Structure 1
């Protein structure tokens, strides 16, 4: 269990140190690795070793969660803004194209 907590601490600290440089894929990989380690911790605990002795280490790990979640939210907002911009471009293109019919004819009348 100590080894699993150590791995989780190393992973979390590594992510926390370079958090502003990370992209979505990096954070996705972190979440997957973290979930795997947490699953292993739950299996290792199995009700035999209480986590009470590890509370300080767990609190330190959880203290990084707010910053990590803030970065995830920042990346989500950037992606949402990018998608909104693409959608707006599509709508403008559709409005422009629908304003002109390709099968129309122009007749010049002389007076």
Structure 2
């Protein structure tokens, strides 16, 4: 009979979940300060702090970084199409997207 301790089972479970999350693209380690510098173009529609003054454009402030990153990657790849956002996302690297996402996630929604 094989005996496995609770600690060992728990460790394997946590390790497995970590691998699944990181391989699914849900872990993003963007730099909010770098994102702030890169957000100058975004501010025209989404506001300086991610709070849009126009109801046509969504607020980005306070959104979850993984959600924002996923949407920007979808615009960039063409999976999600928008005549304004698709060309804006096209030149962005993964690092740019993660930095922007981290910046907007760190902003307070109004």
TM over 0.5, yes or no?
Answer: no
TM-score (norm. length: structure 2): 0.27
Q: Which has the higher helix share?
A: 1
| Alignment TM-score, normalising by the size of structure 1 | 0.27
Whichever of the two has the greater Rg, that structure is 1
